[in-house]
Amino acid sequence: MPAERQAPGARPSLTERVPAVLSIRNVLSLAPVIPVLTIRSLEQAAPLARALIRGGLPVLEITLRTDCALQAIEAIRAAVPEGLIGAGTLTRPPDFADAVAAGAQFGVTPGLTRELTAAARKAGLPLLPGILTPSELIEARAAGFDACKLFPAQAAGGLELLRALAGPFPDQVFCPTGGVTAQNAAEFLALPNVPCVGGSWVAPQVAVEGRDWQRIEDLARRAAALRSTARAE
C-alpha cells in the first residue's frame, strides 16, 4: 500500500508513531497526559473519546469501575480507531483477559502482585503497573517493568518523591497519577523521569454528563500543550 502523503512538517499520525510491538514506554511517549476516564453511560464513550483525541490526547485509560466499562472500551475501539485505548483499575487476574477481549491495547493497575504480572503476560497485554515505594519499584523492575505508574502520586509525596526516586533508580520512568491537576501537571512533566502524567481533570464528570464535548476538547488541547510548556521552563 502506498504511504499516505503528508504535508511537509506534519506530525506523523498515531498509527505511524506506534510500533508493531507496543511497549509501555512507547505508550507514555505519545502524549503528555493520559486521561483517566470512568464512563458511567455507554452512549458517552465514543463522543468523549473523540473530544479528547480531537484536543490532542490520543492515549486514553478507561477504568474498570463501572458496569459498562468493558463495553465502553469496545465501543471506543470500534468508533475511534485513531485512539490508543487502555483498561485501568485492573485489580484481579481475570480483568486482564476481559480487557483484551474488549479490545484494550494496554493495561494499568493501581498496584502490582505476582498474580497480576502473570495475568498480564498470559493475556499478552502491555502493562503500566502502579507502585508507590522503593520496595515495590524493586519488585516491579525484577518483573521486567521499566516504566511504572506512581499512584497515588500527590498524596504520596508528588514532585519530591519523584526527585528522590531518580537517585537510586535513574533509568526508571513514571506516570504519576492521582492528584495531578491542570495546575500542577506542568511541574510533574518538567521532571526528567516523567514522560507523561495521568489524570481525570480533562474530563470533568459535569461536562461528560452535560455532553459538553467542546469543553472537554478545550481542556484536552491545553493538556496536550503541557509538555512544551514544562520543558521550556
Catalytic residue annotation: 61, 149
What cell was used for 147?
516504566
175 binds ligand 3PG (CB under 6 A): no
Minimum gap (Å) between residue 146 Cβ and ligand 3PG = 21
Residues 149-168 that bind ligand 3PG (CB under 6 A): 151
179 binds ligand 3PG (CB under 6 A): yes
What dihedral angle (degrees, nearest 10) is formed by the CA atoms of 58, 64, 69, 75? 40
* 154 three-state secondary structure: helix
Minimum gap (Å) between residue 193 Cβ and ligand 3PG = 18
Q: What is the total count of residues that contact ligand 3PG (CB under 6 A)?
A: 10
| Grid cell 474488549 in the structure block, residue | 102
Minimum gap (Å) between residue 36 Cβ and ligand 3PG = 4
Pick from 57, 178, 186, 216 the residue near ligand 3PG by CB under 6 A: 178
Pick from 44, 105, 172, 177 the residue near ligand 3PG by CB under 6 A: 177
How far is the C-alpha of 36 from the C-alpha of 63, rounded, in Å?
A: 7
- Is the CB of residue 173 less than 8 Å from the CB of residue 24? no
204 binds ligand 3PG (CB under 6 A): no
200 binds ligand 3PG (CB under 6 A): yes
180 binds ligand 3PG (CB under 6 A): yes
Report the side by side order of strands in the sheet with 173-176: 130-131, 147-150, 173-176
> Which DSSP letter does residue 10 get?
P
Minimum gap (Å) between residue 71 Cβ and ligand 3PG = 20
Indicate the residue among 195 and 199 with the shorter CB distance to ligand 3PG.
199
176 binds ligand 3PG (CB under 6 A): no
> Which DSSP letter does residue 45 get?
H
Residue 168, class by beta-carbon neighbours within 10 Å (0-12 exposed, 13-18 middle, 19+ buried)? Answer: exposed
The Cβ of residue 92 has, within 10 Å, a number of other Cβ atoms equal to: 12
129 binds ligand 3PG (CB under 6 A): no
Expressed in angstroms, the distance from the first to the final Cα of the chain is 43
Residues 23-82 that bind ligand 3PG (CB under 6 A): 36
Indicate the residue among 53 and 180 with the shorter CB distance to ligand 3PG.
180
- Is the CB of residue 58 less than 8 Å from the CB of residue 196? no
Sign (positive or negative) of CA dihedral 103, 108, 110, 111: positive
Minimum gap (Å) between residue 89 Cβ and ligand 3PG = 7
Residues lying near ligand 3PG in the complex (CB under 6 A): 36, 151, 177-180, 198-201
